[in-house]
């Protein structure tokens, strides 16, 4: 039986876009997404992981569904793995999604 793992690969902040679009009073507090940390790992067991950002979840759900249906991304050199990100254009988070085979 397969399990599924979500790993935070990298958080980013596009400072030029933040400078242009975030109001001046919010800019000093802006940076890479504070909801996640690089290297953070979540195991998916059928419900979104506790505390997982709902916006990020909505963004990655389609790719996770492909992995769950035994699909693969032909452009990724590891079967059962996809690289995806949340759709926050100012501070995106890049995730690795993996199908993990359990010995059960």
pLDDT digits (tens, 9 = 90+) for 33-90: 999 999 999 999 888 999 899 999 999 999 999 999 988 888 999 999 999 999 999 9
pLDDT for the residue 29: 82
Q: pTM for this one?
A: 0.89
**Structural domain of residue 71, as residue ranges?**
2-101
Which residue(s) pair with 98 in the sheet? 5, 81
Mean per-residue pLDDT for 9-27? Answer: 93
Q: Band of the pLDDT at 15, cuts 50, 70, 90?
A: very high
Percentage of residues in the chain having pLDDT higher than 90: 75
- As for how many domains the chain has, the answer is 1
Task: Please give the Cα distance from 13 to 93 (Å, whole number).
Answer: 9
Task: Please give the Cα distance from 80 to 74 (Å, whole number).
Answer: 10
């Amino acid at each position: 039986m397969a399990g599924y793992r979500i790993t935070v690969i990298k958080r980013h902040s596009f400072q030029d876009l933040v400078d242009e679009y975030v109001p001046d009073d919010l800019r000093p507090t802006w940076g890479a997404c504070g909801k996640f940390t690089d290297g953070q790992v979540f195991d998916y067991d059928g419900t979104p992981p506790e505390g997982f950002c709902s916006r990020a979840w909505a963004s990655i759900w389609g790719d996770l569904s492909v992995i769950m249906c035994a699909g693969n991304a032909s452009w990724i050199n590891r079967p059962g793995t996809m690289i995806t990100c949340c759709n926050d254009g100012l501070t995106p988070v890049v995730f690795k999604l993996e199908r993990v085979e359990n010995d059960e």
